[in-house]
Homo-oligomer: A and B are copies of this chain.
Amino acid sequence: MSDPHFKRIAIIGLGLIGGSLGHAIKRGKLAERVVGHAHSEATRKRALEIGFVDEVVPSAAEAAKDADLVVVCVPVGAVGAVAAEIEGSLKRGAIVTDAGSVKNAVVRDMGPHIPDGVHFIPGHPIAGTEQSGPDSGFAELFDGRWCILTPIPGADREAVAKLAAFWEACGSRVDYMEPKHHDLVLAIVSHLPHLIAYNIVGTADDLETVTQSEVIKYSASGFRDFTRLASSDPTMWRDICLNNKDAILEMLGRFSEDLSALQRMIRWGDGDGLFQLFTRTRSVRRMIIEAGQDTAAPNFGRNPTHISDKKS
């Protein structure tokens, strides 16, 4: 196994992912020095206060200078500009990676800015919460979660192995994919669920016959689960939609087709068809729990008594 340690790591973007990465690097003692950069001065200041970076600098170029590993943790719509900015400061032999939820567009936007002799290995830790900002990060975010690396053809094997070892030391399990396939997989496991969640919360918010206060009060009957995903960072999700258009439209098309079939079963009272669908989906949950990707506790283990401590 490769050595997961780096001398100097630059984290560009200090929100949930960048912050959690900083915490995980500290926990694993994976770098001698962690330099951070974020666009906003307040974020930089806060990151330093929390201490998941050793130093913050006002430009991405400065952060990347002399770094052995540069991890770009900004919304995918901004990775191209960051790459252009750091292009001149990257040191020979450095590894540049990212954490974006789409990979084809990242290869397209960052790729041309990576100088010869620098190892560009796009990546995507499949981990997150609905929260954002430097205060939302924590060291355990990546524990037991998958991190997908999508090395481009001709990537240096040693550099890929070193980056994989690094993510494993951060708690992740590492997998490899083609960028295009990654984007298709993420379209169904992540992008479609988020869009559906945003959509249903929007639909509920627009009703004239049911008040917002009724939606809130009775949300524990199902609706509340969707509001978690629908409170994720808007910039991040706008950029994902704009940068994984084809795969998302493909999945939305399939979902809508299936929804029309379901609607038809309800309209025509096809009890057997409904029962069959509702039975088939149960086993998927079981497999997710067996794979260690969710808790087996009912209601995600939410404690009803804790929740009701805060009464309206």
Contacts and interface: CB of A to CB of B under 8 A. Distances in A.
Interface string A125-144: 01111110000100011011
B225 A293 contact: no
A196 B129 CA distance: 21
A64 B249 CA distance: 55
Contact of A241 (B245, B259, B260, B266): B266
B225 A228 contact: yes
A281 interface: yes
Interface in A160-205: 175, 184-186, 188-205
Contacts of A237: 274, 278
Contacts of A308: 143-145, 292
B298 A301 contact: no
A130 to B, nearest CB: 6
A118 interface: no
A284 interface: yes
A40 interface: no
A188 B309 CA distance: 26
Given A200-B196, A271-B242, A207 B223 contact: no
A157 interface: no
Stoichiometry (number of copies)? 2
Nearest to A190: B221
Given A189-B204, A281-B231, A308-B143, A263 B259 contact: no
Contacts of A140: 304-305
A282 interface: yes
A215 interface: yes
A222 B140 CA distance: 18
A84 interface: no
Contact of A267 (B146, B249, B304, B309): B249
A203 to B, nearest CB: 5
A286 interface: yes
6 contacts: A144-B307, A188-B215, A188-B223, A189-B218, A196-B259, A224-B288
Interface of A: 101, 126-131, 136, 140-141, 143-146, 148, 175, 184-186, 188-207, 209-210, 212, 214-232, 234-235, 237-238, 241-242, 245, 248-249, 251-256, 258-260, 262-263, 265-267, 269, 271, 274-275, 277-282, 284-295, 298-312
Q: Closest 3 A-B residue pairs measured CB to CB?
A: A144-B308, A129-B298, A193-B222
